């Protein structure tokens, strides 16, 4: 999450996974918090070249901290906001972030943990405009429904096969020239 060359939403996936770990395993919340302290401290550092700050990632990561109620991070989040390192179009100003922490969440942020097939099914049902043929999905390895195997049939004429025109010659000596 600290590398500038990593795609923003890849870093966000890691942040969301950390948040889900904290929500599903409250005993790990301090460890998750320590990771965010490390990441936020890295970005808040005066040594950091501001050209490599991922403002959008920081905004989304702050949102994940709100979702998993990591209130102890507020001082670091304040510093990030004071240094204008956070995309405020995501969660608003620092005052808005404080307000989010003061109020109960309006929605459940704890997600069901799926296996790979469950994730794929969720993608199909929740991503707007994403359509895929269910037959294709069922052909994935490990799925219960498998299409029957059929022998491959080739319509290609071999060079030594009889010519299709009915001349009696081999294809290579007749129409295949």
- Cα–Cα distance measured from residue 126 to residue 20, given in angstroms and rounded to the nearest whole number: 19
Share of the chain above pLDDT 70, in %: 84
Q: What is the pTM of this model?
A: 0.65
User: How many other β-carbons are positioned within 10 Å of the β-carbon of residue 71?
Assistant: 12
Backbone angles phi and psi of 169, in degrees to 5:
-85, 165
* Residue-wise pLDDT tens digits, 36-80: 999 999 999 878 777 788 899 999 999 999 999 999 999 999 999
* Residue-wise pLDDT tens digits, 104-114: 887 778 877 77
**Contact predicate 82/45, CB 8 Å:** no
First to last CA, the chain: 63
User: How many other β-carbons are positioned within 10 Å of the β-carbon of residue 81?
Assistant: 21
Return the higher-pLDDT residue of 34 and 123: 34
């Amino acid at each position: 999450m600290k590398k500038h060359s990593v795609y923003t939403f890849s870093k966000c996936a890691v942040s969301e996974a950390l948040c889900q770990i904290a929500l599903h395993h409250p005993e790990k919340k301090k460890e998750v918090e320590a990771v965010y302290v490390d990441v936020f401290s890295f970005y808040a550092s005066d040594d950091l070249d501001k050209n490599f700050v991922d403002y959008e990632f920081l905004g989304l990561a702050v949102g994940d901290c709100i979702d998993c109620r990591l209130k102890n991070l507020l001082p670091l989040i304040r510093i990030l906001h004071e240094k204008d390192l956070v995309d405020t179009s995501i969660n608003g100003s620092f005052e808005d972030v404080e307000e989010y922490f003061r109020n109960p969440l309006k929605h459940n942020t704890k997600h069901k943990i799926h296996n790979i097939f469950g994730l794929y099914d969720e993608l199909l049902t929740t991503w707007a405009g994403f359509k895929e043929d269910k037959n294709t999905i069922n052909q994935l390895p490990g799925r219960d429904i498998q299409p029957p195997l059929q022998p491959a049939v080739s319509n290609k004429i071999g060079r030594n096969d009889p010519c299709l025109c009915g001349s009696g010659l081999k294809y290579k000596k007749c129409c295949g020239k």
